[in-house]
Amino acid sequence: MVDLSVEICGLKFKTPIMPAAGPTTRDGDSLVKAAEGGAGGLVAKTVSTTLAHVPRPCIIKVKDSLMNAELWSDIPLDHWLKHEYPMAKQTGLPLIASIGYSAEEVREIAPKVAAAGVDALELSTHYLSDSAPVVEATKAAKETVKIPVFVKLSPNVPDVAQFARVVEEAGADGIVAINAIGPCLAIDVENAMPMLGSSHGHGWLSGPAIKPFAVRCVADIARVVKIPIIGAGGVTTGRDVIEFIMAGASAVQISTAAIIRGRKIYGLMADEMAKFMRAKGYNTTNDLKGIALRHLPEQPFRTTAKPVEVIASRCNACGLCERYCLYDAIRVVGRVAKVDSVKCYECGLCVSVCPTRAIRF
Ligand SMILES: Cc1cc2nc3c(=O)[nH]c(=O)nc-3n(C[C@H](O)[C@H](O)[C@H](O)COP(=O)(O)O)c2cc1C
């Protein structure tokens, strides 16, 4: 029996999969729906001292990813305190409240939000790239509440690991990495107008396009901090959850995939994760935690070629490897792909595109 549950800062999550602050957690009702979709914990949309005046349009799809110009919540804080958080708490899941942004704002909001019964705080630092204001905000939260304080990092910093270490020293109980990446720009070529209604048309990229960047950030942070990390950025499948955990995360958050594929995604990912773990003999989420870190050496593994091989029983002769091969080194002959080891450059592209994982080094 696979056990997906995780404990982070004393909070018990039934799975390591939860929604990220965003439109799928914009109020109590959405948070209840996320719980119904199988989330293991909840993270509410960021609130601040004032209401956000959100530019429109504020979300567009870019391939499989999204660009958004959403700000924090446009629901008054009082309403969150009286209605939205209590409604979300009724799910029985750990509830993390995202708050922002300056130390003054955090000092004002944190105690009120904690008094509403949330289980932890997450400080959103989307608009801060210098560590000084984040350190101040972290200290302000730690001085005013007793519940765990997570700090969510913007990727717009020169050294995310160093940033995380500074935040840990300031007293953070955990790190959330990462927020959406930007600013980005998309232009509608029909009318030469920006697709988002924000100033300069700027938006923030999220979803599969940013996943490799997010996994790298998590791995870099995991090597230098002792506090738990919650990964975010492009998590779309159960395998993605496992990838983040192998890179050192204790849990993950999801926004884009839940917007695009619906709220059932949390439970579906948990099922996929459990299936993978059963097949590979992992019993608990903790068995996966950080296990890829030892395989991330400072020097390359090797620069000499090592032949790729095709596991004939798995090959369905789809021909994708042949189409992608830049070196004409792989051909489907009869019902199976065959590699010409003299031509093969060992670039690895065929290994990554094979849908049945029939090609390996
Ligand atoms: C439409 C939208 C609104 C978001 N709003 C917030 C927010 O209020 N606070 C916050 O900290 N992050 C916010 N985010 C960022 C997400 O929480 C998350 O960190 C980021 O999108 C990466 O995860 P994903 O690739 O699964 O979407 C938002 C993301 C999107 C797409």
Task: Compute, in angstroms, the gap from residue 361 CA to the centroid of ligand 1.
Answer: 36
Which residue's structure tokens are 């018990």?
12
Q: What's the chain's length in residues?
A: 361
**Angstrom distance (rounded) from CA 232 to CA 216:** 11
- Average pLDDT for 50-78: 96
> Which is it for the CA torsion 228, 234, 240, 241, positive or negative?
positive
Closest of 311, 310, 301, 313 to residue 344, by C-alpha: 310
- Percentage of the chain beyond pLDDT 70 is 99
Report how far ligand 1's centroid is from the alpha carbon of 21 (Å).
6
Residue 53 pLDDT > 70, yes or no?
Answer: yes
Average pLDDT over residues 254-281: 98
- By CB neighbour count within 10 A (0-12 exposed, 13-18 middle, 19+ buried), where does 216 fall? middle
Element (H, E) at 263: none
Give the Cα separation of 192 and 346 in Å (integer).
Answer: 43
Phi-psi region at 346: left, alpha or beta (left = phi > 0; alpha = psi -120 to 50)? left
**Residue scoring higher pLDDT (361 or 180):** 180
- d(CA 52, CA 46) in angstroms, rounded, equals 10
Identity of the amino acid at 345: Y
CB atoms within 10 A of CB 289: 21
pLDDT value at residue 158: 86
Residue 128 has what pLDDT? 64
233 lines ligand 1 (CB under 6 A): yes
How many Cα atoms are found within 13 Å in the side-chain-facing hemisphere of 211? 21
- Parse the chain into domains and list their residue ranges: 6-295, 309-360
Mean pLDDT, rounded, of the chain = 96
The enclosing H or E element of 316 equals none
Whether pLDDT at 294 is above 80: yes
- For atom 18 of ligand 1, which residue has the closest CA? 179
Does residue 152's CB lie within 6 angstroms of at least one atom of ligand 1? yes
Residue 297 pLDDT more than 90? Answer: no
pLDDT at 66 over 90: yes
Residue 58 corresponds to which tokens in the numbers above?
């504020």
Q: Is the CB of 22 under 6 A from ligand 1?
A: yes
Position 67 scores a pLDDT of 98
Residue 301 has a pLDDT of 74
For residue 63, the CA-to-ligand 1 centroid distance in Å is 17
Q: Is the CB of 232 under 6 A from ligand 1?
A: yes
Q: Which atom of ligand 1 is nearest to the CA of 122?
A: 11
**46 in contact with ligand 1, CB cutoff 6 A:** yes
The per-residue pLDDT for 1 is 85
pLDDT of residue 195: 97
The span from the first CA to the last CA of the chain, in angstroms, equals 31
Q: Is the pLDDT of residue 38 over 90?
A: yes
200 vs 116: CA distance, rounded Å = 38
For the chain, give the percent of residues with pLDDT over 90: 93
Q: What per-residue confidence (pLDDT) applies to 156?
A: 85
For range 8-36, the mean pLDDT: 98
Among 15, 23, 71, which residue's Cα sits nearest to residue 44?
Answer: 23
In 3-state terms, what secondary structure has residue 339?
strand
The architecture that CATH gives domain 309-360 is: 2-Layer Sandwich (3.30)
Tokens, residue 99: 């708050």
Q: Is the CB of 234 under 6 A from ligand 1?
A: yes
| pLDDT above 70: residue 280 | yes
Q: Which strand (E) or helix (H) includes residue 352?
A: helix 349-353
Mean pLDDT of 98-114: 97
What pTM was estimated for this model as a whole?
0.96
Contact 207, 257 (CB under 8 A): yes
Q: What token pair was written down for 270?
A: 């948990």
Characterize the bridge pairing of strands 193-194 and 181-185.
Answer: unpaired
271-276 contacts at long range (C-beta below 8 A, 24 or more positions apart):
271/238, 272/237, 272/238, 272/239, 273/4, 273/15, 273/17, 273/238, 273/239, 273/241, 273/242, 274/2, 274/4, 274/238, 275/238, 276/238, 276/239, 276/242
What whole-number distance in Å separates Cα of residue 322 and Cα of residue 144?
60
pLDDT digits (tens, 9 = 90+) for 224-249: 999 999 999 999 999 999 999 999 99
Looking at the domain 6-295, which fold is it?
TIM Barrel (3.20.20)
The reply to whether ligand 1 has any atom less than 6 angstroms from the CB of 70 is yes
* Residue 126 CB–ligand 1 contact under 6 Å: yes
Digit-coded pLDDT (tens) for 171-216: 999 999 999 999 999 999 999 999 999 999 999 999 999 999 999 9
Place 157 in a pLDDT band, splitting at 50, 70 and 90: confident
Would you state the pLDDT for residue 361?
86
| Lowest mean pLDDT, pick from 148-157, 169-178, 254-263 | 148-157
Atom of ligand 1 nearest to the CA of 126: 11
Cβ pair 230, 253 in contact under 8 A: yes
Range scoring the smallest mean pLDDT among 139-143, 144-148, 237-241, 341-345: 341-345
318 or 128: which leads in pLDDT: 318
The finding on whether 66 has its CB within 6 A of some atom of ligand 1 is yes
- CA distances from residue 74 to 24, 148, 155, 179, 259 in whole angstroms, order as listed: 14, 25, 24, 19, 19
